[in-house]
Amino acid sequence: MEALETFFDNVRKLENEEEIIDFCRKYLIHGIPYIFTDNQDNYYEFRKRIANQFDINFYEIYITGSAKLGFSPFKEKKFNYNSDIDVAIISPQLYEKMLEPIYEYQMKLRKQRKSISEEELKEYHSFLEYTAIGWIRPDKLPKSFGVKILRKSWFEFFKSISYGRSEVGNYKVSAGVFKSYSYFERYTISTLKQIINAQTKIK
């Protein structure tokens, strides 16, 4: 896969933090995603659709992963119909809004008014680990948590714009919310560094 090999070749040439940051911004964050190549209008409409749902700005919505690049550097495979569309929503307002029911849930756990299985507790701890780095991932919430408040409404919306029901086409759409652009960028840079380390070992 020529695009993937070119990506890896460029990654191996990165020599310092400044180059890593520039590469990350230029290729992993900035620009029109692969899935919307030559179709900027649909990209805008897709972002607007999500923005309207959550009452946020369209420019706070990014597409990441293989749908952005056209391939997965981790799986080393081309973007295809088995791939997901990964959406990063960067909105301090939405982040804080989503934290409110999580706060209530945590307080109920502390007061032992909320029963939760060991498996769900493990899942919840995984959710909290992501939240600690400024990223709310509703897919990590235990099923017992706020079904009507967060889980159900969140997944019903993204299901409604998946598999041919929106501008993105016949793909599953998944999303998470970052507390700020800074958190999003730092997480993306850390992901790039994992790729760099892996490529350095096989260099």
What are the tokens at 140?
Answer: 């990590």
Strand ranges (E), 16-159: 61-64, 71-72, 77-78, 84-90, 135-136
Burial pattern 58-69, b for ≥16 Cβ within 10 A else e, equals eebbbbbbbbbb
Query: How far apart (Å, rounded) are the C-alpha atoms in residues 203 and 197?
Result: 10
Quick check: 120 pLDDT over 60?
yes
Distance CA 107, CA 28 (A): 38
Indicate the DSSP class of residue 60: G
**pTM listed for this prediction:** 0.93
Q: What is the pLDDT of residue 152?
A: 80
Compute the distance between CA of residue 70 and CA of residue 32 in angstroms, rounded to an integer: 11
Give the burial string for 131-145 (b: 16+ CB within 10 Å, else e). Answer: beebbbebebbbeeb
Say how many residues make up the chain. 203
Mean pLDDT of the chain: 92
For β-strands 135-136 and 172-178, DSSP reports them as antiparallel
Q: Residues 189, 140, 158, CA angle at the centre, nearest 5°?
A: 85
> What does the pLDDT look like over 15-39, one tens digit per residue?
999 999 999 999 999 999 999 999 9
Check pLDDT > 90 for residue 44: yes
Q: Which of 36-50, 56-70, 95-109, 186-200 has the lowest mean pLDDT?
A: 95-109
